[in-house]
A and B are shown apart, each in its own frame.
Chain A
């Protein structure tokens, strides 16, 4: 494909991204191959969701369907959820407990290790029909993923050539996962949202510190989160992942009033009839009220006040993606804390008081950028040039980190580009 070369980038610091990258079907196909089936680690599910032998969950890596299960020995195994025979989806249910996985089409049977264990009429009937004796069942199991685990968070990789998980994530991300998953968790529920936009617009959105208090007016109007707070962005060495963080109550109303006022941004603070809805209850020895961790390509770990969640961006073609969100609490939360988390679940997800706008923002970008693929976005808050951590919030520099690694994996990294 002629258009997909390193010439696609107008600048070497990824401060301009051509709209084409959100709309071209061939680009999408290459992403599935080189990113999702390439040397990345994707979030699969939580250890806590498959506690017992035989427990399974069906998920996706990119658009590839995946089974994650716990085998008889207690080990977690993951494989592509596609029958070796005709390509049918083997496990159709989303979760459950089973001794094996049997394809409904011709009842080929796979063990919890993904090995092909039985084929009906393998030797035919009365010596006629069936498979040739040379057919080797060992060669036709479900394609395995390599699985890694950080504090009960399970990741998988389809390609054989990924670097070790800890190297892939890097020290800041590992530290944040250990912080968020310092105690055993339990799942409180799931939410799903189908957005009519390209999946990368959401990957950018979660790295975009600048939009938060502008698009999500609830944050400022009801005094939950403001750009005047102490906060910033922290990335891994390769700048492919990002942690957006902010300290609760670290600015004064007066300072925020002044800053938003002089920027001509509405900042008349309203009060809630139920202020508990936004009250942050510190849970550890830090004052971080917001930590949004984006792991390349498509996982997000979010602590927004006391709501805790893992989000997966699931691409569904070039023009649509699903945000699958797993809401969690700690296994030892007292009932009263669980109730607080359920109240604060109002803040996030498809109906979230501080998140519903993302769906609309992404859809209007996607729709409007489509007619002129050669035009570009601007990514320059916090300046262009070098990609580095920032200790302020009016920045979108981690988006350039995302594109830098994207370009590398897609084989379109220009000579002399920043990393």
Chain B
């Protein structure tokens, strides 16, 4: 169990660092072969409404999202900084734990001005395969559901 905790913390630390470094291919590598990634406004979650800001219920959709970000989308020029809090392990299972961690993402523009961009929690179902943890299912419950400007780079 404590081995799990260490591996979970390593995975979350890697997750934030790779986005902040804009290494999106390596970031995609943290997800399982079959995976789901969604950013859900708390306003919808609380009312049982399904619309997400980003809804990728297959690896293909997640890869398309990253491709579009690189090839087509234009957005505010910025860097991200993820501050990810201590994870709680909600459930242990043979094939991997389900964990929850609070996060904050700050954005800094080209002129060095930083603002709090988003806060919320990650709820991750992780999968253990050949000794390694990957993300099977990532639900990002977004407290900051009035999106400042726009949401382009992954949370």
Residues of A within 8 A of B (CB): 95, 187-196, 215, 217-218, 221-222, 270, 272-274, 277, 322, 327, 338, 342-343, 345-346, 349-351, 353, 356-360, 363
The 8 A-B pairs of least Cβ separation, nearest first, read A189-B51, A359-B150, A273-B60, A350-B147, A351-B151, A189-B49, A218-B72, A189-B44
A–B complex contacts, Cβ < 8 Å, 28 sampled: A188-B49, A189-B43, A189-B49, A189-B51, A190-B43, A191-B147, A193-B146, A193-B147, A193-B150, A194-B146, A195-B149, A272-B60, A274-B61, A277-B61, A338-B50, A342-B50, A342-B52, A346-B54, A350-B53, A351-B39, A351-B54, A353-B73, A356-B150, A356-B151, A356-B152, A357-B74, A357-B75, A357-B150
Contact partners of A350 in chain B: CB under 8 A: 53, 147, 150-151
On chain A, the residues within 8 Å of B64 by CB distance are 272-274, 277
| Residues A353 and B146 in contact in the complex (CB < 8 Å), given A215-B74, A274-B60, A342-B55 | no
Contacts of A358 in B (CB 8 A): 150
A residues near B147, Cβ cutoff 8 Å: 191-194, 350-351
Q: How far is the CA of A327 from the CA of B76 in the complex (A)?
A: 25
Q: Which residues of B contact A338 (CB under 8 A)?
A: 50
Contact with A along B90-122 (1 / 0, CB 8 A): 000000000000000000000000000000000
Query: Measured between alpha carbons, how far is A357 from B56 in the docked complex, in Å?
Result: 20
Q: Which of B51, B53, B57, B71 has the most CB of A within 10 A?
A: B51
In the bound assembly, the distance between CA atoms of A189 and B54 in angstroms comes to 13
A interface, by DSSP: helix, strand, loop or mixed?
mixed
B116 to chain A, nearest CB (A): 13
Chain B positions within 8 Å of A, measured between CB atoms, are 39, 41, 43-44, 47, 49-58, 60-61, 63-65, 67-68, 71-76, 145-152
Q: B55 contacts which of A195, A218, A346, A360 (Cβ < 8 Å)?
A: A346
Contact A190 B44 (CB under 8 A): yes
Which of B58, B149, B150 has the most C-beta atoms of chain A within 10 angstroms of its own C-beta? B150
Establish whether residues A360 and B74, one from each chain, have CB atoms under 8 Å apart when the complex forms.
yes
Cβ–Cβ contact B50 & A189, under 8 A? yes
**Given contacts A193-B150, A273-B63, A357-B74, are A342 and B51 in contact (CB under 8 A)?**
yes
